[in-house]
Structure 1
């Protein structure tokens, strides 16, 4: 008599109730502000602006000269970055100067140190 080989059945996946509850809570969290921040950071022009401001506080007129973008386009991007609390501006004589906020600098530093190393050649 020929016998069929028996298949081993894996143990069912078990998740403790407290973990299930925490996962459910995480899935219900409002992540709108985080999504908005990632949308702001999803444009290469805005990343380049942040990197330029990491080097030095700059006037829009300098950014216009070195990027060949129109003043209105750069002003739009700077407004979005300002609304996200990544940059701030102050008037110096006849110039509106932009600089990174502490949050903007911290975020850029984190992106540079973490993401750059981990994403090299993967995307």
Structure 2
């Protein structure tokens, strides 16, 4: 029983809803990874084209070690992948579902901004 409910009775099948809640367990880890502004920008840029670390550093105005750190985190979640071309390593989007999340979040953010 909940202390918050005035009627002191449960109105749903608690076990059923616990199972439903379990379906999203672990998703917060993905959101933690993409919650960083730099990583979100990297994903967004890689959805447009393959880029090397130098390209990303120049575009975002960051150091190579900083970009490499973010790419390592994104690779650990298989959100980006890389391939070697001569001496260069090119990065691309590894999971196209994540760009869908970013597009949806961007639309939502634009709607919030328009409401001001």
Shorter-chain TM-score range: 0.7 to 0.9
**CA 28–86 in structure 1, closer or farther in 2 if over 3 Å, else same:** closer
**CA 110–43 in structure 1, closer or farther in 2 if over 3 Å, else same:** closer
- Specify the alignment match of 2:11 in structure 1: 15
**1:1-123 to 2 correspondences below 5 Å:** 15-16=11-12, 19-27=13-21, 31-32=25-26, 34-101=27-94, 103=95, 105-112=96-103, 114-119=104-109, 120-121=111-112
Cα distance between partner residues in 2 of 1:94 and 1:26: 48
State the Cα RMSD in Å: 2.5
Deviation of 1:28 (Å): 5.6
5+ residue gaps, structure 1: 1-10
Alignment length (residue pairs): 107
User: What TM-score does the superposition give when structure 1 sets the normalisation length?
Assistant: 0.74
5+ residue gaps, structure 2: 1-6
Give every structure 1 segment of 4 or more consecutive aligned residues whose post-TM-superposition deviation is greater than 6 Å: none
Deviation of 1:68 (Å): 1.6
User: What TM-score does the superposition give when structure 2 sets the normalisation length?
Assistant: 0.78
